[in-house]
A and B are shown apart, each in its own frame.
Chain A
Amino acid sequence: MNSNSALSIEEIREGGVCVVALAGRIDSTNANEVMTRLTGLISAGEKSIVVDLGTVLYLTSAAFRALLVATDRADRSAAKLALCSLAGHVRDLFEMGGMLELFTIHASRQDAIAAHS
């Protein structure tokens, strides 16, 4: 693994949906950045968020916690937060951790945006 595996967080506006595209690895050193960005969007009044995990290399329990906290915050703020594009190791880890049933998950970004529109 090289420097390309550093975490990046990109926000893209797709109509009324805010897509947050994560890339790289999400672990104990940077999971708080993800949580802060997502909860910040919800606090700012964002009502429809899709987190795209398509280019995430791997994630740890700290990342799951960040996503759970953000989902919980969205629920309490009458906002919708969904995940999309789980593949490879990332999907395996969701399954391994029993996480698939705890989130709204779409196969692709397009599917997620269509469901939120």
Chain B
Amino acid sequence: MTRSVAICLHNEASELAKVRDALDCLGREFHLPSPELIELQIALDEIVSNVIKYSWSDGVDHEFIVRITVRTDDVVLEIIDDGAPFDPRRAPEPPRRRPAARVSHPGGLGIHLIRKLVDGFAYSRIGGRNHTTLTKKFVQAQSGRGELNRE
């Protein structure tokens, strides 16, 4: 009843296209509704770019894992990295009504959008790795449910 895809990424911004394309493929395969798929793509971009920018500060190449799991009525995004411990849920809210501050310190906006766009946002540190999990519920289209049931 589920389909899971794991993608190994390097900590470079260009790598984001890999997970974006993988989620697009799963969206087509399972006929995920467009609004939810768009919201998932935004949340995925925000959380993965956050890991790429902030998990390591040594300037060295690192690898991390993104696992996308499509279940009967939700999609789960798991990001597992061995960077510095960081719970993204504790990121401060972006400053309001201060445009100049937003230009120079926009970091909190991405996390703020994730909070608004997904149904579940979990974090744990396990065995020296950050495990961040985003969950998005959706109402499966009839044809898509048929495909899931054939799994």
Contact = CB atoms under 8 A, between A and B. Distances in A.
A97 B16 contact: no
A75 to B, nearest CB: 9
A34 interface: no
B69 interface: no
Interface residues of A, number: 25
B103 A65 contact: yes
B116 interface: yes
Interface residues of B, number: 32
A102 interface: yes
A61 B24 CA distance: 20
A29 interface: yes
B118 interface: no
Q: Which of B48, B102, B113, B117 has the most CB of A within 10 A?
A: B102
Contacts of B35: 89
Interface in B107-140: 109-110, 112-113, 116-117
Interface in A40-97: 57-62, 64-65, 68-69, 71-72, 89, 93, 96-97
A93 B116 CA distance: 10
A98 interface: yes
A97 B45 contact: no
Nearest to B98: A102
B38 A98 contact: no
Contacts of A61: 46, 106, 109-110, 113
A102 B45 contact: no
Interface of B: 13-14, 16-17, 20, 24, 27-28, 34-35, 37-38, 41-42, 45-46, 48-49, 94, 96-97, 99-100, 102-103, 106, 109-110, 112-113, 116-117
Given A89-B38, A96-B117, 19 more contacts: A1-B27, A27-B41, A27-B45, A28-B16, A29-B16, A29-B20, A57-B38, A59-B42, A60-B42, A60-B45, A60-B46, A60-B49, A60-B110, A61-B110, A62-B45, A68-B106, A69-B103, A89-B35, A102-B102
